[in-house]
Amino acid sequence: MKFYCQDISFSDEEFGCSISLSENRNEYNEENADKILKMSPSKVAESIGQYISIHRSYAEDEFEKDYYYFETSDDTRSEELENFKIELYPTRFLMYQDNDIHDIHFKPSKDEFSNLKKILKKIINDRGELIIHDQ
């Protein structure tokens, strides 16, 4: 998968953290949610475009394990996250997973790049390999 990312979103909350890189800007929010409700599922998918999303959910107690998940706009590639490597550059996100390479170009602000680094470190934990190129 290869695309130019126009929308970067991330969350870092009590129950987990995630990042999403999307081809199209997410113009839908609570104020204009009625627009998306009127769209067909295919139009919604078309408006989002290509994307990847990486999640880590924290265990709720000592008997559970953290859950790592990878999702893409190609639903045949969404799966539990294992055996992967991520290289993060100031203008590029590369993810190697099995035989797939996800090559995403972007122009994050300094704050966005800083947040990406911070949250990716939390997501990766001991699951995969993360290489950060600051220049």
Q: What is the pLDDT of residues 3-30, one digit of tens each?
A: 999 999 999 998 999 999 999 876 544 4
pTM of structure: 0.81
The angle at the Cα of 91, spanning 88 to 96, to the nearest 5 degrees, equals 40
End-to-end CA distance of the chain: 24
Task: Report pLDDT for 29.
Answer: 47
Highest mean pLDDT among 26-30, 32-36, 82-86, 108-112: 108-112
The C-alpha R_g of the chain, in whole angstroms, comes to 15
For 33-57, write each residue's pLDDT tens digit: 566 566 665 565 566 688 999 999 9
Residue 119's closest CA among 35, 52, 56? 56
